[in-house]
Structure 1
């Protein structure tokens, strides 16, 4: 397989992963909204509540945040400081972009690895109100960081500098 075809196939696979994660983020957000609305309705309407509602809503929120974070990487949707890069010509800007993308990929790889070790270490520790592991708070961190690594590697490979959507001066 030629390098161009391999790059295109990897891009399609990453796009498919993004679509699957988007669907998952929507589903988890919907579940979180249902749990919180039910909890509020029960607490203020009937004076009762679920024991597990606070913990599950917090867990679902963590899942939404860490699963959605990598989706903003290729769109330059995260906060960035472009004080230096705006003053560079195209070639040095692309080189710096590739370098910082590789550094971000390395950092996320370390976080994913350490998160996985911590999740394994904490797998036997139960949540206080659910029959589940505390490590479930770390699973989306590991997955989100690994997903982010793929995006940063793709950006480093392409060198396609994406200007931020909103520039504040």
Structure 2
């Protein structure tokens, strides 16, 4: 379990670096578009679709890492009132639901990418499938990270930074 956690930790770190880089690049592209459009009276036709693609990557990769680290939004009023064993059951049910959502992202995102494979984005000249790649990539990571959380909880290891106790409690 320790080796898997270490590998997935490196995957999460890499995903955060890619997400952060995409955010910075998107900000730069949008800033350049503003300068070109309003300062130079010329437009970068590729800036908007490229920025949307970058935004998809930083949103979906960041969301997956947020799930792994336990930083995602949650409604904790019931959790606070329950005994530790019941909390573990609810956390596990939540992780199973999130895993299912990730599987849906991979499945339906792949179908969307397949349907757009032959369509070219006119302003950047690449396949329209690239618009849906972040959904699939983020879904894969969500599944991996949710399964890791379930396995860690089953092994009695902590799975998030706030509120989750080890299984032997």
What TM bracket, shorter-length normalisation? 0.7 to 0.9
1:15 matches 2:9: yes
Q: Secondary structure at the match of 1:79?
A: coil
Segments of structure 1 that go 5 or more residues without pairing to the other structure are 1-6, 165-169
Q: Which residue is 2:85 aligned to?
A: 91
Native 8 Å contact 1:99 1:156 kept in 2:
no
Q: Verify the 8 A CA contact 2:69 2:159 in the aligned structure 1.
A: no
**Aligned match of 1:47 in 41, 44, 52?**
41
- Give me the TM-score of the superposition, normalised by structure 1: 0.86
Q: Tell me how large the CA RMSD over aligned residues is.
A: 1.6
Q: Distance in 2 between matches of 1:161 and 1:8?
A: 13
Residue 80 of structure 1, aligned match among 49, 71, 74: 74
Structure 1 segments, 4+ long, off by >6 Å, are: none
Aligned position for 2:101: 107
3-state SS of the aligned residue for 1:145?
A: helix
User: Please, what TM-score do these two structures have when normalized by structure 2?
Assistant: 0.86
Question: Is it true that 1:150 corresponds to 2:168 in the alignment?
Answer: no
Question: Aligned partners of 2:24 and 2:91: how far apart in 1?
Answer: 36
Give the CA deviation at 1:98. Answer: 1.4
Q: Would the aligned equivalents of 1:52 and 1:130 in 2 still touch at CA under 8 Å?
A: yes
Shift of 1:75: 2.8
Residue in 2 that maps onto 1:138: 132
Q: Distance in 1 between matches of 2:72 and 2:6?
A: 23
Q: Which runs of 5+ in 2 are unaligned?
A: 164-169
| Cα drift, residue 49 of structure 1 | 1.3
How many residue pairs get aligned? The number is 158
